[in-house]
């Protein structure tokens, strides 16, 4: 009998972490590598947030806290939801965890039974299907076609719902495509969900503040208040506030679900880092004007990267509404041969050859459930992005 659990055998290691690790190893071996694989802002955490963390250490706020968050942070989260999303939550409806990732994990562990289905639009964030499998559930993948801006349609959602459906995971703007659902597009989905009262909504709003060209972010419970009692609205400070390493995510939802998530957390990590929680209080309550400034930098980079990629032979790249990713197609490169003799028969082959031959690390589309594409994270300096685009252009021009 295997020492490792049968559940773990259903789970893949994160491909984004694997690409980042390979790029690190090549760089350590002296290769000139540009890493565009990781999903984190290249900006630093703002000084006022760092100062709040230092003050928390100095004040001895270094002990265990309530399992799902200090009251001050829960209140700051309630205020944020009211201010930015028009959603009213009481502190007893808030859960704070070690990153948005643990919020999602806790919710799935707290609710899934064997055979429960979870609808996940593709391309998807790599962790959703594997977290569902870890919880004993079955991911049901619904493909958002490139022609539809990588968004799923109401008809597709309707067709995917069965009596076993427990959750619909919604992520806008999306990792990996950057695609965003505006109010009308989201309303079309919430109308379907209103007809199926047994389906709960897990809205991953992590990229809320990274929205461009006047795209207005909206969340499901905001667009359809009728879904409030079966929606978990998930967010975090990692992406918006350049705080990936601090590991703070949060959610608002029905009290009985939040209590169940508290139980999972209480028996796993106990509580998120006390110092990071105080930093997050400052992030949510402090000045917010830098969010728009940083978003305009990201929008400029997005435009540059999209234009450059569309100039590469065999690549086409759509302009996304948000996040800091683009998701170009390499359909035009399939069947070609790289300068060093690799046959490009998949997006994984394209990305591996690009890394080995030109030193650019990106993540292949199969990892996100839609091929042949790759994901570029443009959360990198202008100089690194220009250099990477030069190399991708040269690589594509060399394909025969
Ligand atoms: N959700 C999405 C769509 C993400 O891209 C990420 C991070 O990459 C997360 C959730 C988790 O973020 P964190 O755990 O840092 O809050």
244 lines ligand 1 (CB under 6 A): yes
Question: In the CATH hierarchy, which top-level class contains the domain 6-44+290-394?
Answer: alpha beta
Separation CA 30–CA 224 (nearest Å): 53
CA distances from 364 to 221, 367, 373 (A): 33, 6, 6
pLDDT at 330: 98
95 lines ligand 1 (CB under 6 A): no
User: What is residue 271's three-state secondary structure?
Assistant: coil
Q: Kindly report the number of other CB atoms within 10 A of residue 134's CB atom.
A: 18
pLDDT at 9: 84
Separation CA 31–CA 359 (nearest Å): 7
pLDDT at 2: 82
Q: Which atom of ligand 1 is nearest to the CA of 102?
A: 14
Please check whether the two domains, 6-44+290-394 and 63-285, share a CATH topology: no
99 lines ligand 1 (CB under 6 A): yes
Q: Which residues contact 161 (CB under 8 A, 6 or more apart)?
A: 119, 192, 196, 199
375 lines ligand 1 (CB under 6 A): no
Rounded mean pLDDT for each run of 10 residues along the chain, 400 residues in total: 84 74 87 90 95 98 97 98 98 98 98 97 96 96 96 98 98 97 98 98 97 95 98 97 97 98 95 98 97 95 98 97 97 97 95 94 95 96 96 98
Q: What is the ipTM of this complex?
A: 0.99
Structure tokens at 122: 């593709």
Smallest CA separation from ligand 1 atom 8, residue: 39
pLDDT at 336: 98
- What residue segments make up the domains of the chain, in order of their start? 6-44+290-394, 63-285
User: What is residue 226's three-state secondary structure?
Assistant: helix
pLDDT at 344: 97
From the list 212, 279, 234, 186, the residue with the least C-alpha distance to 81 is: 234
Q: Say how many residues make up the chain.
A: 400
Q: Which atom of ligand 1 is nearest to the CA of 100?
A: 16
CATH number for the domain running over 63-285 = 3.40.640.10
């Amino acid at each position: 009998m295997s020492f490792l659990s049968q559940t773990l055998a259903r789970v893949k290691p994160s491909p984004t972490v694997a690409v980042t690790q390979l790029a690190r190893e090549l760089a350590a071996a002296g290769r000139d590598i540009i890493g565009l694989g990781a999903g984190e802002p290249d900006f630093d955490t703002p000084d006022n947030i760092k100062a709040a963390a230092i003050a928390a250490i100095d004040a001895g706020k270094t002990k265990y806290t309530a399992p799902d968050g200090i009251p001050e942070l829960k209140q700051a989260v309630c205020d944020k939801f009211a201010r930015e999303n028009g959603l009213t939550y009481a502190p007893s409806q808030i859960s704070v965890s070690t990153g948005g990732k643990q919020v999602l994990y806790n919710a799935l562990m707290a609710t899934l039974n064997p055979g429960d289905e979870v609808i996940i639009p593709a391309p998807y964030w790599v962790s959703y299907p594997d977290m569902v499998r870890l919880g004993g559930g079955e991911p049901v993948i619904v493909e958002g076609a490139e022609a539809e801006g990588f968004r799923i349609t109401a008809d597709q959602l309707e067709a995917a719902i069965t009596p076993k459906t427990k959750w619909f995971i919604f992520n806008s703007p999306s990792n990996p495509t950057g695609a965003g659902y505006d109010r009308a597009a989201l309303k079309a989905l919430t109308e379907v969900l209103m007809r199926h009262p047994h389906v709960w909504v897990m809205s991953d709003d992590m990229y809320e503040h990274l929205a461009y060209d006047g795209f207005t972010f909206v969340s499901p419970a905001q667009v359809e208040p009728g879904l409030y009692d079966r929606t978990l609205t998930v967010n975090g400070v990692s992406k918006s506030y350049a705080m990936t390493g601090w590991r703070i995510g949060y959610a608002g939802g029905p009290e009985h679900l939040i209590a169940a998530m508290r139980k999972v957390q209480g028996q796993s990590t106990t509580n998120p880092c006390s110092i990071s929680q105080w930093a997050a209080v400052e992030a949510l309550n402090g000045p917010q004007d830098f969010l728009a400034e940083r978003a305009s930098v990201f929008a400029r980079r997005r435009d540059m990267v999209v234009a450059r990629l569309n100039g590469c032979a065999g690549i086409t790249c759509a302009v996304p509404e948000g996040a800091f990713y683009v998701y170009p197609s390499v359909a035009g490169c399939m069947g070609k041969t790289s300068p060093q003799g690799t046959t490009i028969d998949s997006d994984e082959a394209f990305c591996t050859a690009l890394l080995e031959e030109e030193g650019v690390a990106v993540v292949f589309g199969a990892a996100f459930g839609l091929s042949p594409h790759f994901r570029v994270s443009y959360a990198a300096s202008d100089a690194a992005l220009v250099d990477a685009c030069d190399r991708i252009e040269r690589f594509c021009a060399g394909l025969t």
